[in-house]
Amino acid sequence: MRLASTLASLVVFLAHSTVSQAWYTVIQPLDTIWLSAPDKSINASYLPFGATQTSVWVNDKYGTPRDLVLGYDNVTTYLDPPSRYFGPIVGRYANRIKNGTFELDNVTYTIVKNENDGLDTLHGGSIGWDSRPWTVVAWSESSVTFYLQDVAGSMGFPATVEAYVTYTLYNDAALTIEINATADGETPILLSSHDWWNLEGYYSYDGQNSSILNHTFYTPDVTSYVAADGILIPTGELPSVEGTPLDFRTARTIGSEFNETVDVCGTGCTGYDTCFVRDHNGTDSTLALELYSPASGIKLSISSEQHAIQLYSCDGLDGTIPAKASQGGLDGVVYSQYSCAVLEMEEVIDAINNPEWGIDSIYGPDRPYTWSATYNFTIV
Ligand SMILES: *[C@@H]1O[C@H](CO)[C@@H](O)[C@H](O)[C@H]1NC(C)=O
Ligand SMILES: *[C@@H]1O[C@H](CO)[C@@H](O)[C@H](O)[C@H]1NC(C)=O
Ligand SMILES: *[C@@H]1O[C@H](CO)[C@@H](O)[C@H](O)[C@H]1NC(C)=O
Ligand SMILES: *[C@@H]1O[C@H](CO)[C@@H](O)[C@H](O)[C@H]1NC(C)=O
Ligand SMILES: *[C@@H]1O[C@H](CO)[C@@H](O)[C@H](O)[C@H]1NC(C)=O
Ligand SMILES: *[C@@H]1O[C@H](CO)[C@@H](O)[C@H](O)[C@H]1NC(C)=O
Ligand SMILES: *[C@@H]1O[C@H](CO)[C@@H](O)[C@H](O)[C@H]1NC(C)=O
Ligand SMILES: *[C@@H]1O[C@H](CO)[C@@H](O)[C@H](O)[C@H]1NC(C)=O
Ligand SMILES: *[C@@H]1O[C@H](CO)[C@@H](O)[C@H](O)[C@H]1NC(C)=O
Ligand SMILES: *[C@@H]1O[C@H](CO)[C@@H](O)[C@H](O)[C@H]1NC(C)=O
């Protein structure tokens, strides 16, 4: 068990900010933290382990609360999961690093390679930030902040990074995720929140099993995408989405050009697992995407300053993992192929190995890293 020793020694002291006379308790990595917006329009739960979002509840168009993200009922499962990355913060460098290597100041760094039999690094290596026990440093009824120190040399990265992530729920069913990170030397940083969405909470509105293929997707300012090879390593090309099944500048269902996506998610794979590049390179947060289920009436709108969006259409799920009880898991509902969409706001992936893109993903004492996204849920 990869983290048993870390977990055994972990004790976190927590100041509960909603209580006037501060009291302290012990929060373990697998203790569930519940938040709700003041108006109860949105509730969500978190684990310090991976700073993981384990549920997000909003009402559907009939006023019934639905749990919109994938997860495990038994929190112990997060330690050694059958499908990794259900809801955590991924880092220190999300997505794939070609050959697990990069150059910085004429030094070649080799990061732990944890995918494709050692051909690349995925989500920061075998023990990425999704697999670390974060510390709770602030907690109120509607907000929680986690802290992580990632020491120099960990997974092969240079420099020690300190990171904070804050989840906050607001009235009218809104959620913000804010991340910042500071490093004591130069290092690549590329972070994201890795949630798997089904805007029907796996409920069957029409007698059919819930599928992401009937959700509409809209990316108004995505003009290009990161071309990738058969194992999803960026090739260095940033082609236009024009005339491809990656063009969602007009809202349409994820399934509408699905047959055209053969090989898009790797050799022989049908579906999406793609980094979409926005025509947006700045610090202001603007609308990046909308995901909408006509059946539940729930529309998710994500605004962010981030330059790119990863969409993964849950191509690799195969129905062997039961859904959470809140999603019908006790009645036989399973996490099947194409039943969800992973949406990650991020910088353009593997920019550290593609300097010709002109994207600087190196951070350090003079350049703190920030990431934010607002998730608004409305009924349409
Ligand atoms: C949130 O939880 C409260 C109970 O604390 C409940 O009344 C409300 O319906 C929940 N809202 C949603 C959207 O799940
Ligand atoms: C949760 O999973 C752990 C590890 O598989 C197991 O030991 C434990 O009994 C499970 N707990 C429940 C309540 O099922
Ligand atoms: C791939 O990484 C290894 C170290 O793991 C290194 O020896 C080799 O030179 C790298 N190959 C390329 C093409 O960069
Ligand atoms: C890297 O190597 C080149 C060529 O040897 C040299 O000109 C440059 O100053 C070096 N850069 C750093 C940061 O050491
Ligand atoms: C990062 O976030 C934490 C928690 O909100 C805050 O205390 C800290 O000042 C922030 N640091 C930077 C560099 O923005
Ligand atoms: C829904 O999925 C379950 C589990 O895979 C399967 O047994 C059932 O036949 C499916 N129902 C429909 C209506 O497709
Ligand atoms: C999409 O919706 C239509 C109409 O409700 C339904 O017949 C079809 O089975 C759905 N397809 C998927 C893949 O869920
Ligand atoms: C995709 O191909 C299958 C099998 O050839 C066909 O039944 C289905 O209608 C096609 N779907 C779309 C959206 O073109
Ligand atoms: C993004 O903006 C920065 C600052 O204006 C600029 O230096 C950089 O070249 C731009 N990058 C891209 C890929 O447009
Ligand atoms: C999203 O929700 C936030 C918080 O309630 C709000 O400030 C913002 O205006 C909303 N954005 C959109 C696009 O609805």
Pairing relation of β-strands 143-150 and 107-110? unpaired
* pLDDT at residue number 281: 86
pLDDT per position as a tens digit, 57-74: 999 999 999 999 999 999
Indicate which ligand has the atom closest to the C-alpha of 295.
7
Indicate which ligand has the atom closest to the C-alpha of 305.
9
* pLDDT at residue number 25: 61
* pLDDT at residue number 26: 72
Nearest CA among 273, 277, 275, 192 for reference residue 230: 273
3-state secondary structure of 331: helix
Residues near 127 by beta carbon (within 8 Å), at least 6 away in sequence: 2, 3, 112, 154, 155
User: To test the ligand 6 pocket, which listed residue (198, 200, 209, 331) has its Cβ within 8 A of the most ligand atoms?
Assistant: 209
Q: For the whole prediction, is pTM greater than 0.85?
A: yes
Please work out whether the CB of residue 160 comes within 6 Å of at least one atom of ligand 6: no
Please work out whether the CB of residue 281 comes within 6 Å of at least one atom of ligand 9: yes
pLDDT per position as a tens digit, 241-258: 999 999 999 999 999 999
Separation of alpha carbons 41 and 190, rounded Å: 31
Domain with residue 24: its CATH number is 2.70.98.10
Separation of alpha carbons 327 and 316, rounded Å: 19
Is residue 59 a contact partner of residue 73, using CB atoms and an 8 Å limit?
no
Structural domains of the chain, count? 1
Residues near 298 by beta carbon (within 8 Å), at least 6 away in sequence: 58, 60, 61, 66, 68, 199, 200, 292, 377, 378, 379
* pLDDT at residue number 1: 41
Low-confidence ranges of the chain (pLDDT < 50): 1-24
Nearest atom in ligand 6 to the alpha carbon of residue 207 is 13
* pLDDT at residue number 103: 97
Domain that holds residue 322: 2-379
